[in-house]
Amino acid sequence: MTQDLTPTPESTQPKMCDSCAGVQQNWRRARGHPELMQGTHRTVAHKHGQVTITRYQCERCGTVWDYENNKVNRHAGWSVVGG
Ligand SMILES: [Zn+2]
């Protein structure tokens, strides 16, 4: 009898390249990788004040990232923009 491994609930995007896959999401101190091209940034008003969100896109796999620079939320940081 073989036991199947439980599939991970968070679906990993198959088109994401290794560099993107290595970016730690939702962690403020995490670094991006050199192939991320910086795009536009915008300022969003939060309860605690304003935060700046910078848009990046990977040159290799095209994954779009947002980086939220939020001093009061250490879980803000890199997140993949869906769609
Ligand atoms: Zn990538």
Q: How many helices (H) and strands (E) does the chain have?
A: 1, 4
The confidence band for 14, taking pLDDT boundaries of 50, 70 and 90, is low
Q: What CA–CA distance (Å, rounded) separates 72 from 33?
A: 24
Counting Cα atoms < 13 Å in the Cβ hemisphere of 16 gives: 18
H/E stretch holding 18: helix 18-21
**63 CA distance to ligand 1 middle (Å):** 6
What is the residue extent of each domain of the chain? 25-77
pLDDT in tens, 28-62: 889 999 999 999 999 999 888 889 999 999 999 99
**2 CA distance to ligand 1 middle (Å):** 35
Mean pLDDT score of the chain, rounded to an integer? 86
Q: What CA–CA distance (Å, rounded) separates 42 from 20?
A: 22
**What pLDDT shows up at residue 1?**
67
**70 CA distance to ligand 1 middle (Å):** 23
The pTM score is 0.76
**Residue from 26, 27, 12, 25 nearest 61 by CA:** 12
